[in-house]
Structure 1
Amino acid sequence: MSTLTAQHRPVAGMLWMFSAGMSFVVMTALVKSLGSSMDPTQAAFLRFAFGLIFLLPALRLMLKTHLTRNHIVLLGTRGVVHAFAVMLWFFSMTQIPLAEVTAMNYMTPVYVTLGAALFLGEKLAIRRIAAIGVALVGVLIILRPGFREISLGHITMLGTALTLGGSYLIAKVLVRDLPPSVVVAHMSIWVTIALIPFAIAVWTTPSLRDLGVLFLVASFATAGHYFMTIALKAAPVAVTQPVTFLQLIWATLLGALVFNESIDIWVVAGGTVILLAVSFIAWREAVLNRSSLTTPSIAPKL
């Protein structure tokens, strides 16, 4: 989670967020390319297992950081919650188009905003409530219940955004006491551990191609998080967030050109509505300079 601070490099921030968005879209496309060659749960486990390689730079800080029993409980709980989010996301990728996965993932910060009000005591101003209502309209535009069949993939993607929201609410509590890099590193470790029994239950011997693809997934996910961190240091979320709209454009084009998915203008429209709502919340908090409040960020954190 990040808070708004006075920053003065908006162009650099937008360029870094553009790079982060490209990394996340490539990551998503690589997962999509696996198709049905591997169970989504096993793929999720291997993605995080490979990701542990990138934790080595944070190892010394992790060992030096003192953890209380409460920290360990929260870290473990977050790992389990995030593991379910990852399994749901990988499954959704096998069921619905790239553009729909990307658009529906935009709901994560909306759930975080609601959760911060319900569980962390943050005030929910009328403008935030209105923006949340607009975001929910965006979901209805994407799903269009009554006008088309809502698949299991849509339901699991809604569950993905909800569980990711829960994961980052716990992270918001943890970063009050612990360095963010330690919180992120522990998440990867705990998620990997939590996924082990589920992966064993569906395990099949992976091909070298699948292992290579999943290593690239872990690499692009790590790069995306790194670029996003630099972007948020260079400029506030209110400035960088609108750039993430391009993720939906790239995902739509990749889906059409690489995976022969039809371009659904309703999905693009609904994703745009959600993004505008979330961006308004971030902009409003920047105007009010209420840095203690949760500032939404829509980058997918998988």
Structure 2
Amino acid sequence: MFNPDMPLPQTADSRPLAGILWMLAAGLCFVVMTAMVKSMGQGMHPIQSAFLRYLLGIVFVLPALRSLLAARLTRRHWTMFGLRGAIHAVGVMLWFFAMTRIPLAEVTAMNYLTPIYVSLGAALFLGETLAARRITAIFVALIGAAIILRPGFREISPGHLAMLGTTLTLGGSYLLAKAAVADLSPAVVVAHLSIWVTVAMIPFAVAVWQTPSWQQLAVLFAIASFATAGHYFMTLALQAAPVAVTQPVTFLQLIWATLLGALVFGEGVDIWVVAGGTLILASVSFITWREAVLKRRPITPPSIAPKL
């Protein structure tokens, strides 16, 4: 069972080409996943869609069942899992809502903010040091976010606010995962995330429930499958090559999302969104490269994958 939240240790023999190709495959899966969510449109309430995506995705937890049952959990672990499940559930529901309100490219570009929140959170809560270069990179990323949103020049919609909330909550979830894997296996951490997020969303889903069609269930299961495949391919990429090599490849997700939004959903190509997303990703890539050069192993590694 792989861990979509924490990169695996690097192998001794780096294979850059393999890492790049696996990351390309991961990016395609994530873009297809987001496009399928958007294709559901107003046919189902976003909260119900988010709940069913996780409920159907529990099937992918089954390979970790033995590890899950064998794990010896303390009260601290249960508290951490419950808190992470609640935070992550909010992030997932906000993300599904944002997908119905703003263009695909904007969702993808703003998703790049998550590692920035992780860097800030690691400094505030995990005691990591923020060097001057890292602070500068974070500042550049925030400028990128301002370029995307352009407050004062256009209306900030509820979808944009939802996406800001998504990146913030998923960043918090990532930090809790880092704390959890310190003394638990990744399989246990991932399995508990799926279970707790599903449980946390039950009351919200019940409040908006409408009987789904078989077609809707099939699409949601496909969404869960593409999300799982994307995280698996990302893990293979991180095993094959350093994250400093594979992370810049994720820029293609923004290009693909922009083209898909224009060609399939009739969304206009907003050059400001592309420019802002490029700035954010460039700052994240710089942080990754800089830490790789300095070989600061304890530093929390940035991750751009949507934790959905």
Length-normalised TM-score, structure 1: 0.98
Q: Does 2:186 correspond to 1:172?
A: no
Deviation (angstroms), 1:62: 1.1
The equivalent of 2:148 in structure 1 is: 142
Is the contact between residue 2 and residue 294 of structure 1 (CA under 8 Å) also seen in structure 2? Answer: no
Deviation (angstroms), 1:2: 2.9
Change (3 A) 1:195 1:7: farther
Give the Cα separation in 1 of the matches to 2:307 and 2:21. Answer: 19
Give the Cα separation in 1 of the matches to 2:289 and 2:261. Answer: 31
Counterpart secondary structure, 2:176: helix
The equivalent of 2:306 in structure 1 is: 300
The equivalent of 1:238 in structure 2 is: 244
2:64 to 55, 58, 61: 58
Q: Does 2:7 correspond to 1:2?
A: yes
Give the Cα separation in 2 of the matches to 1:247 and 1:182. Answer: 29
The equivalent of 1:274 in structure 2 is: 280
Is the contact between residue 4 and residue 286 of structure 1 (CA under 8 Å) also seen in structure 2? Answer: no
Amino-acid identity (%)? 71
Q: Does 2:216 correspond to 1:210?
A: yes
Deviation (angstroms), 1:136: 0.2
Q: How does 1:95-244 map to 2 (within 5 A)?
A: 95-244=101-250
Structure 1: runs of 5 or more not aligned? none
Q: Deviations over 1:7-55 (max 9, x none)?
A: 5111111111110110000000000000001000000000000100111
Is the contact between residue 8 and residue 238 of structure 2 (CA under 8 Å) also seen in structure 1? Answer: no
Is the contact between residue 22 and residue 237 of structure 2 (CA under 8 Å) also seen in structure 1? Answer: yes
Give the Cα separation in 2 of the matches to 1:139 and 1:7. Answer: 37
Deviation (angstroms), 1:4: 6.4
What amino acid maps onto 1:219 in structure 2?
S
Counterpart secondary structure, 2:42: coil
The equivalent of 1:46 in structure 2 is: 52
Deviation (angstroms), 1:73: 0.7
What amino acid maps onto 2:207 in structure 1?
A
What amino acid maps onto 1:192 in structure 2?
T
Q: Deviations over 1:232-259 (max 9, x none)?
A: 1111111110000010011011101110
1:26 to 1, 26, 32: 32
Give the Cα separation in 2 of the matches to 1:54 and 1:136. Answer: 36
Give the Cα separation in 1 of the matches to 2:278 and 2:207. Answer: 39
Counterpart secondary structure, 2:269: coil
Give the Cα separation in 2 of the matches to 1:4 and 1:108. Answer: 21
Deviation (angstroms), 1:117: 0.1
Give the Cα separation in 1 of the matches to 2:13 and 2:136. Answer: 28
Count of residues paired in the alignment: 302
Counterpart secondary structure, 1:22: helix
The equivalent of 2:264 in structure 1 is: 258
Deviation (angstroms), 1:169: 0.5
Q: Does 2:77 correspond to 1:78?
A: no
Moved more, 67-76 or 108-117: 67-76
Is the contact between residue 4 and residue 236 of structure 1 (CA under 8 Å) also seen in structure 2? Answer: no
Length-normalised TM-score, structure 2: 0.96
CA RMSD of aligned residues (A): 1.0
Structure 2: runs of 5 or more not aligned? 1-5
Counterpart secondary structure, 1:170: helix
Is the contact between residue 8 and residue 239 of structure 2 (CA under 8 Å) also seen in structure 1? Answer: no
What amino acid maps onto 1:11 in structure 2?
L
